[in-house]
Amino acid sequence: MQLELNWLRQRLTGDPLMLRHIDAALEIGTGAMGALRRILSDLRPGVLDHLGLWAALESLLEETEGRSGLRCTLVCPAEIERCRLGRDAEIAVYRIAQEVLTNVQRHAGAGRVWLVTEALGRDLRIEIRDDGRGMLVPAQPTSFGLLGMHERARAIGGDLGIASRPGEGTTISLRLPAALVGGAGR
Ligand SMILES: Nc1ncnc2c1ncn2[C@@H]1O[C@H](COP(=O)(O)OP(=O)(O)OP(=O)(O)O)[C@@H](O)[C@H]1O
Ligand SMILES: [Mg+2]
Write the pLDDT tens digit of every residue in 104-162: 999 999 999 999 999 999 999 999 999 999 999 987 888 899 999 999 999 999 999 99
Query: What pLDDT does 129 receive?
Result: 98
Question: At 154, which amino acid appears?
Answer: R
CA of 107 from ligand 1 middle (Å) equals: 6
Residue 24: the pLDDT is 96
Protein residue closest via CA to atom 9 of ligand 1: 103
Please give the Cα distance from 144 to 69 (Å, whole number): 26
Percent of the chain with pLDDT over 70: 97
Amino acid, res. 96: I
Euclidean distance between CA atoms 179 and 125, whole angstroms: 9
- Asked if residue 162 has its Cβ within 6 Å of ligand 1, the reply is no
Residue 132 Cβ < 6 Å to ligand 1:
yes
Q: Is the CB of 169 under 6 A from ligand 1?
A: no
What does pTM read for this prediction? 0.81
CB 149: neighbour CB atoms within 10 A?
A: 23
Question: 128 alpha carbon to ligand 2 midpoint, in Å?
Answer: 14
Q: Say what the pLDDT of residue 182 is.
A: 58
CA 108 – CA 131 distance, rounded (Å): 8
State the Cα–Cα distance between residues 100 and 162, nearest whole angstrom.
Answer: 11
Mean pLDDT of 67-83: 95
Provide the CA 114 distance to its chain's centre, in angstroms.
16
Quick: pLDDT tens for 39-57.
877 777 888 888 899 999 9
What is the CA(145)–ligand 2 centre distance, in A? 4
Please write the tens of the pLDDT for every residue from 84-114: 999 899 999 999 999 999 999 999 999 999 9
